């Protein structure tokens, strides 16, 4: 099942709003079901206030959504309550701006190599995890905004995103995937250079460079996600997917998720040992080689970035 947040086209600006609704894409990919409206039309209720609320309801909530989707497909009377043409709506970020956004740094050997670094063995290293604020999250077709100074170079990073479906703490690697609700595309947009407008003390530059890198992850619009959340039952093996990133139609990145240093299960387990993971939390699993910083080809106004992961659709965002 492909879950989305949406509103009718033209209904206000991007961001969280009471106008956002929860839907499921029909198998033909041309329509969606407004789950709350469909439930009300059938005389039932469901946890359809948000994607995190739906996931928190567990299998009961997902089963209710599947039943409404199947019911709408069987209905021959037109118009079907709660069914909208996909071209009549605007999709938002499936996970909204609630919960945590965690991300793995340098989780592909090829990306480390293009930056001149070597790769550790997963047996004697741990995932390097940072976070991005909720205000960085945007949906498909929303604009990536170049912030200008102090951020002076902006890069793309196509990644596989993992969405948590059940509250978990200190889970084992063996059990970690049981807590996954589904998967989506992520673009971990990154500010690669920070210029505060003055010279900084040389003795603190190495420390400053680390925080410059970290600050570059935090800007508004720097975490496009979507176009939908594909439930885990539709992804047979998340470690065999292909991640592709294109800029203006030119392929810049291509890799298998099997190339990760730290697997999805290891990343979930490690994060769950640091904090409680809750329904709707997102973990971005790292980017492969091909980023703009390796060649100096940074994003410019008018560029269009597409991130595509096997079976998860295409996340498309223009740059402003």
pLDDT the model gives residue 61: 94
**101 and 282 Cβ atoms separated by less than 8 Å:** yes
pLDDT band at 15 (very low <50, low <70, confident <90, very high): very low
b/e per residue 75-105 (b: at least 16 CB within 10 A): eeeeebbbbbebeebbbbbbbbbbbbbbbbb
Residue 17 has pLDDT above 70, yes or no: no
User: What integer is the mean pLDDT of 276-297?
Assistant: 97
Q: What is the pLDDT of residues 230-281, one digit of tens each?
A: 999 999 999 999 999 999 999 999 999 999 999 999 999 999 999 999 999 9
pLDDT band at 16 (very low <50, low <70, confident <90, very high): very low
pLDDT the model gives residue 74: 79
pLDDT the model gives residue 46: 86
pLDDT the model gives residue 144: 98
Residue 185 has pLDDT above 60, yes or no: yes
Q: What is the pLDDT of residues 82-128, one digit of tens each?
A: 899 999 999 999 998 878 999 999 999 999 999 999 999 999 999 99
Residue 174 has pLDDT above 90, yes or no: yes
Q: 101-318 adopts what CATH topology?
A: Fumarylacetoacetate hydrolase; domain 2 (3.90.850)
Cα→Cα distances 203→194, 198, 214, 216, Å: 17, 15, 19, 21
Residue for token pair 């690697």:
173
Q: Which of 57, 10, 63 is nearest to 49 (CA)?
A: 57
Residue for token pair 């065999």:
240
**178 and 264 Cβ atoms separated by less than 8 Å:** no
pLDDT the model gives residue 79: 73
For the chain, the average pLDDT equals 93
Q: What is the pLDDT of residues 22-58, one digit of tens each?
A: 999 998 888 999 999 999 988 888 899 999 999 999 9
pLDDT the model gives residue 10: 67
Give percent of the chain with pLDDT exceeding 90: 82
Backbone angles phi, psi at 126, to 5 degrees: -125, 155
- The CA-based diameter of the chain, rounded to the nearest angstrom, is 73
* Dihedral sign computed on CA atoms, order 194, 145, 253, 259: positive
Enumerate long-range contacts of 58-61, CB under 8 Å, 24 or more apart.
58/165, 58/166
d(CA 62, CA 44): 14
Residue 13 has pLDDT above 60, yes or no: no
Q: Which residue has the higher pLDDT, 10 or 197?
A: 197
Cα→Cα distances 257→91, 164, 241, Å: 26, 18, 5
d(CA 187, CA 223): 6
Residue for token pair 């500010």:
191
* Start-to-end Cα distance in the chain: 32
pLDDT the model gives residue 78: 64
Residue extents of the structural domains in the chain: 2-92, 101-318
Backbone angles phi, psi at 52, to 5 degrees: -60, -40
pLDDT the model gives residue 45: 83
Backbone angles phi, psi at 60, to 5 degrees: -60, -45
Token pair belonging to 164:
């948590």
């Amino acid at each position: 099942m492909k879950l989305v947040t949406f509103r009718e086209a033209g209904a206000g600006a991007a961001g969280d709003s009471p106008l956002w609704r929860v839907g499921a894409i029909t198998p033909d990919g041309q329509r969606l079901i407004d789950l709350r409206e469909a439930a009300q039309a059938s005389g039932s209720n469901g946890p359809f206030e948000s994607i995190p609320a739906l996931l928190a309801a567990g299998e009961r909530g997902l089963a209710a959504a599947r039943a409404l989707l199947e019911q709408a497909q069987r209905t021959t009377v037109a118009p079907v309550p709660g069914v909208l043409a996909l071209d009549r709506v605007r999709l938002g970020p499936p996970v909204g701006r609630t919960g945590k956004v965690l991300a793995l740094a340098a989780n592909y050997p090829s990306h480390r190599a293009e930056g001149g670094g070597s790769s550790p063995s997963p047996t004697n290293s741990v995932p390097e995890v940072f976070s991005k604020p909720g205000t960085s999250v945007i949906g498909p077709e929303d604009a990536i905004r170049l912030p200008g100074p102090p951020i002076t170079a902006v890069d793309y990073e196509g990644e596989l995103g993992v969405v948590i479906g059940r509250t978990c703490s200190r889970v084992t690697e063996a059990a970690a995937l049981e807590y996954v609700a589904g998967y989506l595309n992520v673009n971990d947009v990154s500010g690669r250079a920070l210029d505060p407008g003055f010279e900084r003390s040389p003795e603190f530059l190495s420390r400053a460079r680390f925080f410059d890198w970290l600050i570059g992850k935090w800007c508004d619009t720097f975490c496009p996600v979507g176009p939908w959340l594909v439930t885990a039952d539709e992804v047979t093996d998340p470690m065999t997917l292909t991640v592709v990133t294109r800029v203006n139609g030119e392929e810049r990145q291509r890799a298998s998720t099997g190339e990760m240093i730290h697997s999805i299960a290891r990343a979930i387990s490690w994060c769950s040992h640091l904090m409680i993971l809750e329904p709707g939390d997102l973990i971005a699993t790292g980017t492969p080689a091909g980023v703009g910083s390796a060649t100096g080809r940074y994003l410019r106004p008018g560029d269009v970035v597409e991130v595509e992961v096997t079976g998860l659709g295409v996340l498309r965002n223009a740059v402003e």
